[in-house]
Structure 1
Amino acid sequence: MYPTVHIDHFQSPSGNLACMIIDDGSAPSSVRCDVLSHTFTPPQEPPGGCGATGFGSSIALAPGVPARFICAGDTVADPSLPVLAYGTTSVVGTFSCDSKEDGIVCADLGSGHWFRIAKASYSLN
């Protein structure tokens, strides 16, 4: 079991991954993680594309909904964010994110849906 903190906006120790967890009642609950530089091939853009926004660098998860890549013209990354150390879990509301040396794994504790994102690969569930 990893040590647990309650940070809603953080980055990986490498600074290449950044995540934001929203579960405060002000907006729909979700967790989003962005990878600044990646070598994996993202899935095909959704039907209709993403227009002027980017695709392939942001994964989101909402309660009860499988994780998916999203269109995003912005980023949650900021070099001033706190670092979620390897081997540490952040839990906010119904979401948890584990910082591992091979990426960040975030899960919806209520449904069991999750994703993993890293520089070289990703997994969606």
Structure 2
Amino acid sequence: MKNQYETVFIITPVLSDIQVKETVKKFRDIITEHGGEMVNEEDWGLRKLAYPIQKKSTGFYQLFEFAADPSFAKIWETQFRRDERIIRFLTFSKDKHAVAYSEKRRNKTKAKTEKEN
């Protein structure tokens, strides 16, 4: 049985757009290689950090929502720790209420986007 997870990670701001996209693709591929399934992905762009991390005040934020086996969490976090382009990350397992809230939020955002177009 697969658990639902959500990860937010911050990529160092000194990378080019191409390097940021490559980093995001690398982590997306790690999920699919280990039998996981991407549910949602959001690019929050370059944002100011609440406090400096590794002498950096900004970073590229990325959100992944995915389903994977519980054993995958350890592999996933090890990959983040090994990648020097990642300055922070947070992964948590979602319960049924968090999954429902995420779906509702995505549908609301989708409806708002369609209304604007």
Q: TM-score normalized by structure 1?
A: 0.24
The structure with more strand, counted as a fraction of residues: 1
